[in-house]
Structure 1
Amino acid sequence: MTTATQDTTKDLSRALIRLHARDNIVIARAPLALGQNVEVDGRVLRLRAQVPAGHKVAAEAIAAGTPVRKYDTVIGLAARAIAPGEHVHAHNLRFVEFEREPAFCTDVRPVDYVPEHARATFQGIVRADGRVGTRNYIGILSSVNCSATVIRKIAEWFTPERLAGFPNVDGVVAFQHSSGCGMSSPSLHFDVLRRTLAGYARHPNLAGVLVVGLGCERNQVADLVDSQALRDGEGGTLLRTLVMQETGGTRATIEAGVAAVREMLPRADAAVRQTVPASHIKVGLECGGSDGFSGITANPALGAAMDILVRHGGTAILSETPEIYGVEHMLTRRAVTPEVGQKLLDRIAWWKEYTRGHNGQFNGVVGPGNQQGGLANIFEKSLGSAMKGGTTPLQGVYEYAEPIDRAGFVFMDSPGYDPCAVTGQIASGANMILFTTGRGSMFGSKPAPTLKLSSNTPMFERLRDDMDINCGRVLDGELTVQQMGEEIFAHLLRAASGETTRSEALGLGDGEFVPWHLGIVS
């Protein structure tokens, strides 16, 4: 071998990432060419195909029917014999369901909590009942889609110019949705919708709430308020209601709604930020547009940040039940009790029945963007997705939009669809959202703001207007996962204190209120 060839081989040794010593695949750090020589464990492999960045390469011969392992976890079986240097993806990786031992509570590790006097702090908005917000909005909720346009028109009236006299108010936002009538009631869907609306009405990031209905819908405004025990002044939150058929129609309701919000503004503006401990931060963890690097950089770095938050007394909310399928045993092993672990398995069982016969993620199929980014099936995607939750004990499992009453790492059941999952997390009490992405997601949320974390530098550079934090620096060798986690935590504290996120600067979040639609439309 000539010196030039040796130098080339040395340069190429960084082309592949081995995640675990027992893996039989490695990850392409950058695009690799057919016939290119790459080094794996001191030996040279010749690439048998073009391999995009983030995709898998066989590190050794893999016999047909043999498990393919990533992070020492089975992500499928070889659909045929795979030679060393081959591209490993959906074309030669077979999705196979198999049982995993839940081993409840076996990986529970004590949390090294930071003493209260030494905990990190941020500038939060303290409500009358002690709840702490990170933003200060007035929200307008529709009981039914029939009042959606009216609440949008009310919110649009409050332009930045008209709000200029209320500098402590972050805005007036309308939460429109597509349901509220034409649905079975009582039903699970009906209960979830009302629970979601109530979660927003009580959210600490809202100083006041106006609920607007049509009048003949199934989700009657008065019944919504009574069934969810919503009260004006509860915790300091103002509550007003309007019914279009009683108020005089579209124009009259818009005028009445504007008047109601104008009446709330002075009291909402009285809110001021003050120093509070980080234990008041509740983070909804989300990922969308994941790629082959998400489970190497952004997701584990976010998990490291959440371990720090939990040590400081805060709460991290993992969701997207279809996107932990296949690795749920990693969470049940961290459950604080067998009952908590079993509740997670019960939600998995519910999803299996709910999605039976459908071509969705829970049955193995991931989206085109995930496929292009290097993720072959839901097991591989779940492996990265679960890492957002860090390593601390699983304290509780909650249903969609159910109020979260435990601190620490918890799980909330939800679909994997980003706006729907985040809507449930916010309704459950999340006052911040941290969102990882590999392909690029243009997502924002209100009233809880979203910070977006990129898994790779090229995407971060391409979408700088939308990305807040570049976790690709881990892949670039600039930071360790732990150092990246510390940087995420510091950024989280600044954003919770009022620093504008990229999605807020772009005005995102008004159209991302998507309650989970479970039932029939009739």
Structure 2
Amino acid sequence: MFSEPPRLLQLSPVDHVAVATQNLPAGSVTHEGQELLIRQPVRAGHKVALLPIAAGTPILKYGQPFAIASRDILAGEHVHTHNVRVMGPEDCQQLAKPNSASSSHDRSTSPTTHVENEMTFAGIRRPDGRVATRNYVAVIGTVNCSSTVVRKIVRAISQDLLNQYENVDGVIPLVHSGGCAMEFGGTDHRQLARILGGYARHPNIGAYLLVGLGCETGQGSFLIEQEGLVQLRRSGEVQQSAPPLLVNIQEAGGVRRTIERALAALKELLPEANKCQRESIPASELVMGLKCGGSDGFSGLTANPALGVASDLLISQGGTALLAETPEIFGGEHLLASRSIDSEVSQKLLDKVAWWRAYAAKFGTTLDGNPSFGNKEGGLTTIVEKSLGAITKGGASPLVDVLDYAERVRHRGLNFMDSPGYDPASVTGLIASGAHVVCFTTGRGSCFGSKPAPTLKISTNTSLFERLSEEMDFDAGRVLSGASISQTGQNLLRKVLKVASGEKTCSEQQGFGDDEFFPWTPGPVL
């Protein structure tokens, strides 16, 4: 039986603000045994000043400064964009120091590996030992010029043919807007090849073929060579490898002949991909991507910290969690840096944030352009406040590595992958890096889905879970009704393991994932 939830939630005893857990009218409320006069109606998820705050004072939430008071704020006032300013570069630079003493995390609380209570899931073991949670065949376009042909190929596959291969989850088109108008062998070219290679190599892809135009910068031959791509096949008990099939439209003799050749190849690839079955796999071999989108004032109170608990539990099993979205740790990067296993990892993280500041400045903007309109409507005021909540998805585990966008995971434990905050681009990078399943927290709502790795969506509040019942997979809003963060996180990890075992997410049931593949390259387009 849950106890009566508080109407105001203070996250740290030193905080200047508390979050309204429900819509509050003007009037008196009791907080921590004291009467507080709410001076105007405050919506759920928004903040209330607990004490007078003088103009120019840093305002604390999560025990960390997230904004500066732009005028004097009375106790009981609504605290939001109308009476605060974002923290300037000098404020953030003071915080962003390796091993900053201001970190609220204690390494002594970091989880340790517990193999005596080993968790498992029903996964797929590939011939080379890799572990999969899904089994797709992919048709991968090397350039936007082949995108329509790739889609035509996939649409031409009959359902009768697919029904013959019950172990195959489907054939997916991986198409994108790039592949040319860039320097051959340059940064963007190599990054795109890394993304496409990450998908081709992904254990959730049982077989694939590449389709290009023929004259593009993003040559299929370059992709195969740089990424060392091979097709793995099993003949009896013997594993064999062969170069992947590459079909170029210009060389094949046009669209019709390309489609015919691709369909003939798929009729050979599907039986190969079908040679698999699920078996018990230790949770230590699972890679879980961590993502938030459409955040609200509850994201950092419920879903994100619950996902942090699930992340820590998976890591305690020897597994891997992959945090991302560099612009959305801005202002809180010192907290992650202080948890790095060494100064090299710490400095690499800070360098990534510095790159994004410079990148934004090239286009005449700043990272303070985030939060979005919907974020602010949900109660988030500044990017630093949003970042402090977003970082809680990473739990309390030490940061073992910082990866470039779509770079393969090298070490088990908590990793950070550099990426934009934009949902499709970030999740594309997480999957290319090796995420088997993506956990996506949201307070405003999202219908996002992905292939070949499924996305599980976690609501920050119960009203959203009920309103978007066909889109949400897990309700973390139960925390606002008295459930503990710890127990909610444990339940969430159990749900993740069920999804890894083949249970379909809401977005999978609705067929999402074919249009959410979005390789990010910083440009320019030449």
Q: State the TM-score, normalizing by the size of structure 1.
A: 0.94
Confirm or deny that 1:382 pairs with 2:381.
Answer: no
Confirm or deny that 1:509 pairs with 2:508.
Answer: no
Residue 102 of structure 1 aligns with an amino acid whose one-letter code is K
In 2, Cα distance between the equivalents of 1:419 and 1:244?
Answer: 28
> Which residue pairs with 1:8 in the alignment?
none
The alpha-carbon deviation at position 253 of structure 1 amounts to 1.0
SS at match of 2:361: coil
CA contact (8 A) 2:455 2:505 kept: yes
Residue 516 of structure 2 aligns with an amino acid whose one-letter code is E
CA contact (8 A) 1:12 1:39 kept: no
> Which residue pairs with 2:343 in the alignment?
338
Which segment drifts farther, 37-46 or 402-411?
A: 37-46
In 1, Cα distance between the equivalents of 2:462 and 2:366?
Answer: 27
Indicate how the Cα distance of structure 1 residues 521 and 13 shifts in structure 2: closer, same or farther if over 3 A, else same. closer
Indicate how the Cα distance of structure 1 residues 322 and 101 shifts in structure 2: closer, same or farther if over 3 A, else same. closer
Which segment drifts farther, 186-195 or 305-314?
A: 186-195
Choose from 18, 24, 28 the match for 2:20. 28
> Which residue pairs with 2:30 in the alignment?
39
In 2, Cα distance between the equivalents of 1:505 and 1:360?
Answer: 39
SS at match of 1:353: helix
Confirm or deny that 1:256 pairs with 2:288.
Answer: no
In 1, Cα distance between the equivalents of 2:127 and 2:371?
Answer: 45
Confirm or deny that 1:499 pairs with 2:503.
Answer: yes
Computed over aligned residues only, the root mean square deviation of the Cα atoms, in angstroms, reads 1.8
> Which residue pairs with 1:112 in the alignment?
112
The alpha-carbon deviation at position 280 of structure 1 amounts to 1.2
Indicate how the Cα distance of structure 1 residues 360 and 513 shifts in structure 2: closer, same or farther if over 3 A, else same. farther
Indicate how the Cα distance of structure 1 residues 216 and 457 shifts in structure 2: closer, same or farther if over 3 A, else same. same
> Which residue pairs with 2:247 in the alignment?
242
1:84-103 alignment to 2 at 5 Å? 84-97=75-88, 98=91, 99-100=94-95, 102-103=97-98
Residue 74 of structure 1 aligns with an amino acid whose one-letter code is P
Residue 435 of structure 2 aligns with an amino acid whose one-letter code is A
> Which residue pairs with 2:236 in the alignment?
none
Superposed CA offset, 1:255-295 (max 9, x none): 21122111111111111111110111101100000000000
Superposed CA offset, 1:141-196 (max 9, x none): 11100000111111122354431111000000011100001223332211110100
Confirm or deny that 1:519 pairs with 2:523.
Answer: yes
The alpha-carbon deviation at position 348 of structure 1 amounts to 1.0
In 2, Cα distance between the equivalents of 1:13 and 1:118?
Answer: 33
Indicate how the Cα distance of structure 1 residues 104 and 275 shifts in structure 2: closer, same or farther if over 3 A, else same. same
> Which residue pairs with 1:405 in the alignment?
410
Count of matched residue positions in the alignment of Structure 1 and Structure 2: 509
> Which residue pairs with 1:303 in the alignment?
308
Residue 466 of structure 2 aligns with an amino acid whose one-letter code is E
CA contact (8 A) 2:98 2:347 kept: no
Extract unaligned runs of 5+ from structure 1: 1-10
The alpha-carbon deviation at position 383 of structure 1 amounts to 0.6
Indicate how the Cα distance of structure 1 residues 12 and 500 shifts in structure 2: closer, same or farther if over 3 A, else same. closer
> Which residue pairs with 1:164 in the alignment?
163
Indicate how the Cα distance of structure 1 residues 433 and 237 shifts in structure 2: closer, same or farther if over 3 A, else same. farther
In 2, Cα distance between the equivalents of 1:157 and 1:357?
Answer: 44
1:253-292 alignment to 2 at 5 Å? 253-292=258-297
> Which residue pairs with 1:15 in the alignment?
7
Superposed CA offset, 1:196-227 (max 9, x none): 00000100000101110001101111122112
Indicate how the Cα distance of structure 1 residues 202 and 312 shifts in structure 2: closer, same or farther if over 3 A, else same. same
Extract unaligned runs of 5+ from structure 2: 234-238
> Which residue pairs with 1:127 in the alignment?
126
SS at match of 2:163: coil
Superposed CA offset, 1:402-424 (max 9, x none): 11110011100000001101101
Indicate how the Cα distance of structure 1 residues 236 and 510 shifts in structure 2: closer, same or farther if over 3 A, else same. farther
CA contact (8 A) 1:457 1:473 kept: yes
Indicate how the Cα distance of structure 1 residues 425 and 418 shifts in structure 2: closer, same or farther if over 3 A, else same. same
Indicate how the Cα distance of structure 1 residues 274 and 144 shifts in structure 2: closer, same or farther if over 3 A, else same. same
The alpha-carbon deviation at position 360 of structure 1 amounts to 5.8
In 1, Cα distance between the equivalents of 2:143 and 2:478?
Answer: 45
SS at match of 1:395: strand
1:99-498 alignment to 2 at 5 Å? 99-100=94-95, 102-104=97-99, 107-109=106-108, 111-115=111-115, 118-233=117-232, 239-356=244-361, 358=363, 362-477=367-482, 479-498=483-502
> Which residue pairs with 1:4 in the alignment?
none
